[in-house]
Structure 1
Amino acid sequence: MPALQPQPLPSGGAVVASSKPATTPLQKIERQYRKFLAKRYMTFMSRVALWIAVLLSLSSIVVSGDISKVPFAILSSFPVSLSLAFLLRVRKTFVTQPYRPSPRPSLIGLVISSFWNRRVITLLLSYTVFSITIANVWCTLLAREDMALFKSTPRHPWQLNESRFVLTASNACLFLVVAARDVLNDNLKADWPRERRPFAQAVKIALLDNIWGSSRIGFTFLWSISAPFAYFWLGLRSFVWQWVNWRLWGVAVRPFVGSFARSTSKTLGPWALLGPMLSLNMLTLLILQFPVKGLTAYITQSPLSLETYLITALKSQDPYYLQFTLMELLRVISIPRCRKIFFDDISKSPSLISQLCQELLLQFGNVHHVLVSRGATSKPQSSQSSPVASSTISTTADERKIPVRQADIFRPLAKPKSTINLKSVLDGPIQASTPSPVVKLTQAGTLAIKHVESVQDQVVGRIEGNPVGDAIVSEAKGARKNVNEWAGKEWGRRSVRSVLGEVLVAQRVIEILVILSVASIEEDTYGNVQQVLPAILEAIVRFREAIFALEAQLLVQTRLLGPAQSGAVDEIKKDLHVAISSCDKAVKRIADIFGQSLSAFKFPPSVAYGLGEICKG
């Protein structure tokens, strides 16, 4: 048996080098995004912690007048900072990963689906944790006997303090309502800036925007002055705690809340809770308001500043990072000296400007694909497989393409005549009217509906004859109208965003392409942009046609909504016409600049007709 010969081991450096895959430029850019944004977010959270410590220290001095509580207030700010960090982290996910629930035709379905999902439940939980934490920290800082955690009795030594319990519960319910209003009013979406500003200026604008006109201040004030009286005077106190104490779980909770249902000489009244509740709720709102407003600026301002990374960054499939790239690219090409770099660089084939237009059309094609497929996400595509760009950039001759002037784009297309012979298809004569039994059933149903409506009108008329009844009916009609209007708008928003969620990407791509096309007349020495100009116009027209098709489909579906139809129709038209208007403005601007030169290009008949309709409008 031959002896085993020792084999030399490979060097450690070679093994390490071969085990690590090469990092692509796109991965490097996304890594820079993550690193820069994470560093900025940590800076933001450190300032939030400082803000909480300062507010708690000042409020403890103002309320108690004891400056020695400042160190304890600073220590107490740590749990508040952690709970607020959890809340802000959850809100941040609604920007990095937009929340797009599916549309529901019924009002109940819209309301339930607005809250019955993991992300919104987590958001509501974060608000609850934050409000309970700040309430208990605040009551502890007061160091008052009537705000202690326990209020023991000879019978129940572990009896909770009702005043502290009511303050905590009221604060939690208040900010649960605030969170629910943000969900229903669509206040969680990202407010992406249209232009790049200095970061400090952007943060200042976000913090001071509508600071005193916010409805949260008035709502918090009304809640704070009405909640104590509603709890004591409207019977909520006796009803709630009697119900809790005499249920199956009463044996477990009675040692802690057993005396809440009884009124004694030591029981506090609503006036005793009014001041602490107002102070606590306003302090919580002040702590929460500025970090939430500042969060938008910290996570939507672009960290990208190197123009050489833009084309590579356009290949990103992450819509959060793509927004930064498009915003930076829009800033760069709006500056003539920066735009000149793209036009004059022909060191590579294809040129730099051709690569830029190619990647822009690919991103435009991704949005168009999702729109046409009604919400199906497109897979990452290469330069040869874009649904819009791949077919339009190709230089292969197409026999169907005709010049704009030859196509007579201002004349509508003639509809083909039908060649079907009805006489040869039908076996018997065409019936002139509906059979009598069907007519009678239809008439009977119509008469029944009219009879029910007349009875309903009579009942409502009698109620409205009474002044009190008239006021109640008017309020009910107004509330019903508002609910139906919200339901229609919410259904319309969901329907549009489920298939056109990245419409802002398409709008910015169109704006960038229009700027490049207009500037190419004087700055594009080699005519690279004008070579892809037909592809740009065709992509815009087809995107516009797809939006019109979506609008027609959604308007048909609104018939199922009943009273909420008008609100849904208005919301759909408002959202979609913004994108349609951007397409129309882009085509008109290019047509105004190029004028008769566009007649040299050839387009498919449908695209030529669409261009004519836009120019005539």
Structure 2
Amino acid sequence: MPDTPAALGKSHSATPVRAIRTTLSNRVALSIPPASQTYEPLVKAALRHRLLYRIFAPSFLVCWILATTWSARMQGGLSGLGLGGLLSVPLTPVTLGSAGAFWCLSAVPVVVLRKVYLTVAPTAAFSPSTILRSALAKPSTPPAILCYASSSILVAFLHIVMTYTYGSPSGEDSHLTLFVKSKKHPYYLNGRVLYLISSQIVVALAYFVRNAMLDRFAVHWTELSTTPNRVQTRIDHLARVLTALLAVGIFAGLCVAGHILLFGVARSIVLPILFKIPIVSRLLRPFMAHFLRGRFTLTLLARHWSLVTRTYYLGLTTLVSWEFAESAFDEAVSVAHHTGAPTPTLISGTTSADAYYKHFAYAELREVACNDTPEGGARRTELFTDQKYHPSLWTTLAREALLTLGRDYQLLLRRGKPSAAAPAPPPPPPVSKPPLPATPAQLIRGPVLKASPSSPLRNVLDTIASDGALPAAVASTAEAAHLPELFRSVLHTDAAAQTAVATLRKKEEDVKGLVQRTRTRWRDALAALVEDGLPKGMLEATMEVREWWTRERVHKRVEASLPNRQLDVLVIDVLSALVCASLTEDQYGVVQRDIPKILEALLDFLQAIEDYQTEVNAMYSPPSEEELPKLSPKEIAQKDTLAMEVAKASEILSEVGDALKDGVVHIVRTFGDKLTAFKFPPRTARKLQGFVDYS
């Protein structure tokens, strides 16, 4: 049969078409996933676990112990319950219910408040006055005050309910009703209840001020290691618990003493003044008229001493529940062992934009870098020999670490001041276009005949018309007087409008100057009145307190220059440990190419620390033996205070300085003569030579 075209086409279509097989393929290198997808979800899960089992559970245990103590005290203690009854008090339904209510009213609101407003950046303030002023300007201040005040008041009402539940036999202290039992005056408020509630409010406000002065909403890292020694950790926890209990006991006593003073001033001075105001007097008389009978004296305080002790114990238990609820927010967590790729997960965590997660990542990376076990060596080898990601794991880690140190190095050079904003580029000059020549068509469209001049009467009518020049000037002046500065540039710039705007600005400046002069005059008059009325000793004490309140501290300024020093220490330890391990564990030498950059960054940072240390040490010079007898006791006290502040500043600088020295010494001792194979800038080489000679 002949091969027809149809048959040929059919035979060709039946032949399969196959691609040429090759081992070459266009593979795209993977990039390291962002921290928001890999590391941060793990940390959030670990923080939720810590919130349940390290914060909520211990705080409930503390509240249960405090509620048990109150229940046993209200029932007469050992003498009223006996040994068996005393042992059964913690498990009674009333005690368990009181403990749950106490926990919900005291610990839970404080934990939620701390969790919502927790921050890593500390407050940059140099004196107690600026610290408190900065705290009051934060958005967390109104919620914090409201939380502490409402929690303390609700705890006071819970205590009153427990008192009536158990029927406390403590005499007059059990009469804690809102109104006194009087048929003639049924709306007279009970002074004991007011004293108890006002005491709790003072405790809440004092606790807020204490937290503001200690900057408690900023993280204070207490444990940098994620795998610490268990015995040492328990000893540290016990020491912190005992220290916190002692501090809270003293603080509660100071709060009660301050409340007694404030309550006496309010009852003896403020309340009589309010009753002299007609409208206010009519509003307060049905509720507080009985407080005007008699004066607030020490004998009155002695007759109600049981109420004073009750307020002390109530304030102490409230403060203890708050303090223990906030104690576990500053500890590091370990999350890399929960994933199948721990090393890439940790490297991804170092790229997080949130310094809170970045701190956790570097804390766990330091454990990997300093681990001498075979498992630690295998993880470091995986980090050095990575070829899966682009950029590689080591490149990403080194870049992020050097950027972190570089930002803090620049902040140290600026002495804690924010970086100056880059000046805006000048606007380009306007391009003037030459006028185009008129075309014949434009000439034809233009007016051919010359316009006849208008009469003087017509000019006057056009001027005063609704759309004339005079009404337009008046309207633009009125608009310029009321519009903001942003919109004034679009108005007419005639002389009348500019004059009106200048007049308004001058009036505004005159009013501001008058207010400032009045404030200064009142302040000077009040200061003169205080100086004339107060005794000399009290005046000197007041001036000393004012000087202490407003004086800038040297160590606070140094803290503002190194706000992230704990993170810097972690980064330095990670880099130095990994560089030293790369000598034997880096098969391809990927770390060696970055050693000059790392050593240069560490030595430059160390030089800046040493320069600042020299500057701080120059602030204090100890008096010589000839100068010491000539100094007054006040000057000697000022010298001692300055010496203490300089010593604290030196300790802060030493945190980073010692880590830098240890890291450089570790690298120098590990590499030894092999460092001659690298090229360093002259300044870095001179600094490094000192470490080589020392080693």
TM over 0.5: yes
How many angstroms does 1:578 deviate by? Answer: 2.5
C-alpha separation between the residues in 1 aligned to 2:386 and 2:261?
A: 76
C-alpha separation between the residues in 2 aligned to 1:78 and 1:322?
A: 37
Hey, what does 1:261 align to over in structure 2?
292
C-alpha separation between the residues in 2 aligned to 1:575 and 1:605?
A: 29
Hey, what does 1:137 align to over in structure 2?
158
How many angstroms does 1:240 deviate by? Answer: 3.4
Alpha-carbon distance change, 316 to 222 in structure 1, aligned in 2, over 3 angstroms: closer
The correspondence for 1:32, drawn from 32, 42, 54, is 42
The correspondence for 1:90, drawn from 113, 128, 140, is 113
Alpha-carbon distance change, 330 to 296 in structure 1, aligned in 2, over 3 angstroms: farther
State which drifts further: 147-156 or 501-510.
147-156
C-alpha separation between the residues in 2 aligned to 1:119 and 1:556?
A: 39
Superposition pairs of residues 83-482 of structure 1, within 5 angstroms: 83-92=106-115, 95-103=118-126, 108-143=129-164, 145-186=174-215, 189-197=219-227, 208-213=238-243, 214-221=246-253, 224=256, 226=257, 230=261, 237-247=267-277, 249-263=280-294, 269-289=300-320, 292-293=323-324, 295-297=326-328, 300-306=331-337, 307-308=342-343, 309-336=345-372, 337-345=374-382, 346-348=385-387, 352-372=393-413, 374=416, 376=418, 472=537
Alpha-carbon distance change, 39 to 68 in structure 1, aligned in 2, over 3 angstroms: closer
List runs of 5+ in structure 2 lacking aligned partners.
1-31, 82-88, 169-173, 422-534, 621-634
How many angstroms does 1:241 deviate by? Answer: 2.5
How many angstroms does 1:166 deviate by? Answer: 0.7
C-alpha separation between the residues in 2 aligned to 1:153 and 1:102?
A: 54
Q: What secondary structure does 1:147 align onto?
A: coil
TM-score by length of 2: 0.61
Whether the aligned pair in 2 keeps the contact of 1:507 and 1:579 (CA below 8 Å) is yes
The one-letter amino acid of 2:408's match is: V
The correspondence for 2:581, drawn from 485, 496, 519, is 519
Alpha-carbon distance change, 263 to 26 in structure 1, aligned in 2, over 3 angstroms: same
The one-letter amino acid of 1:129's match is: S
C-alpha separation between the residues in 1 aligned to 2:379 and 2:260?
A: 68
How many angstroms does 1:525 deviate by? Answer: 3.7
How many angstroms does 1:146 deviate by? Answer: 1.9
C-alpha separation between the residues in 2 aligned to 1:569 and 1:50?
A: 42
The correspondence for 1:587, drawn from 664, 670, 677, is 664
How many angstroms does 1:377 deviate by? Answer: 8.3
How many angstroms does 1:316 deviate by? Answer: 0.6
The one-letter amino acid of 2:46's match is: F
The one-letter amino acid of 2:200's match is: N
Q: What secondary structure does 1:150 align onto?
A: coil
How many angstroms does 1:165 deviate by? Answer: 0.9
Superposition pairs of residues 21-100 of structure 1, within 5 angstroms: 24=34, 26-43=36-53, 44-49=55-60, 51-65=62-76, 71-72=93-94, 74-76=96-98, 77-78=100-101, 81-92=104-115, 95-100=118-123
**Count of matched residue positions in the alignment of Structure 1 and Structure 2:** 495
State which drifts further: 158-167 or 279-288.
279-288
Hey, what does 2:480 align to over in structure 1?
none
- CA offsets 1:228-270 (integer angstroms, 9 cap, x no match): 87578x6653223323433453333333323223249xx9942
The one-letter amino acid of 2:38's match is: K
Alpha-carbon distance change, 520 to 24 in structure 1, aligned in 2, over 3 angstroms: closer
C-alpha separation between the residues in 1 aligned to 2:138 and 2:619?
A: 24
C-alpha separation between the residues in 2 aligned to 1:118 and 1:347?
A: 45
Whether the aligned pair in 2 keeps the contact of 1:110 and 1:490 (CA below 8 Å) is no
Alpha-carbon distance change, 74 to 260 in structure 1, aligned in 2, over 3 angstroms: farther
How many angstroms does 1:516 deviate by? Answer: 1.6
C-alpha separation between the residues in 1 aligned to 2:57 and 2:152?
A: 20
TM-score by length of 1: 0.67
How many angstroms does 1:537 deviate by? Answer: 0.5
Whether the aligned pair in 1 keeps the contact of 2:33 and 2:348 (CA below 8 Å) is no
- CA offsets 1:313-367 (integer angstroms, 9 cap, x no match): 1111111111111111111222132332244332516654444334433333343
Alpha-carbon distance change, 198 to 506 in structure 1, aligned in 2, over 3 angstroms: closer
Q: What secondary structure does 2:591 align onto?
A: helix
Superposition pairs of residues 457-606 of structure 1, within 5 angstroms: 472=537, 488=551, 490=553, 492-493=555-556, 495-547=557-609, 569-606=646-683
Hey, what does 2:6 align to over in structure 1?
none
Whether the aligned pair in 2 keeps the contact of 1:228 and 1:270 (CA below 8 Å) is no
Q: What secondary structure does 1:27 align onto?
A: coil
Alpha-carbon distance change, 35 to 268 in structure 1, aligned in 2, over 3 angstroms: farther
C-alpha separation between the residues in 1 aligned to 2:60 and 2:241?
A: 21
How many angstroms does 1:89 deviate by? Answer: 2.8
The one-letter amino acid of 1:208's match is: L
- CA offsets 1:51-95 (integer angstroms, 9 cap, x no match): 424532441232234879954554454365244322233334564
Whether the aligned pair in 2 keeps the contact of 1:203 and 1:297 (CA below 8 Å) is no
How many angstroms does 1:193 deviate by? Answer: 0.7
C-alpha separation between the residues in 2 aligned to 1:64 and 1:137?
A: 16
C-alpha separation between the residues in 1 aligned to 2:64 and 2:175?
A: 25
How many angstroms does 1:164 deviate by? Answer: 1.4
Whether the aligned pair in 1 keeps the contact of 2:569 and 2:655 (CA below 8 Å) is no
Alpha-carbon distance change, 117 to 202 in structure 1, aligned in 2, over 3 angstroms: farther
- CA offsets 1:127-151 (integer angstroms, 9 cap, x no match): 2222222122112211265211221
How many angstroms does 1:515 deviate by? Answer: 1.4
Alpha-carbon distance change, 480 to 204 in structure 1, aligned in 2, over 3 angstroms: farther
List runs of 5+ in structure 1 lacking aligned partners.
1-21, 380-467
Whether the aligned pair in 1 keeps the contact of 2:224 and 2:332 (CA below 8 Å) is no
Whether the aligned pair in 2 keeps the contact of 1:127 and 1:175 (CA below 8 Å) is yes
Whether the aligned pair in 2 keeps the contact of 1:367 and 1:500 (CA below 8 Å) is yes
- CA offsets 1:300-321 (integer angstroms, 9 cap, x no match): 2304133331111111111111
- Bigger Rg, structure 1 or 2: 2
Whether the aligned pair in 2 keeps the contact of 1:342 and 1:353 (CA below 8 Å) is no
C-alpha separation between the residues in 2 aligned to 1:588 and 1:332?
A: 20
Whether the aligned pair in 2 keeps the contact of 1:128 and 1:175 (CA below 8 Å) is yes
Alpha-carbon distance change, 250 to 482 in structure 1, aligned in 2, over 3 angstroms: closer
C-alpha separation between the residues in 2 aligned to 1:228 and 1:205?
A: 36
Whether the aligned pair in 1 keeps the contact of 2:604 and 2:684 (CA below 8 Å) is yes
Whether the aligned pair in 2 keeps the contact of 1:242 and 1:261 (CA below 8 Å) is yes
How many angstroms does 1:554 deviate by? Answer: 8.2
C-alpha separation between the residues in 2 aligned to 1:503 and 1:543?
A: 12
Q: What secondary structure does 1:348 align onto?
A: coil
Whether the aligned pair in 1 keeps the contact of 2:224 and 2:331 (CA below 8 Å) is no
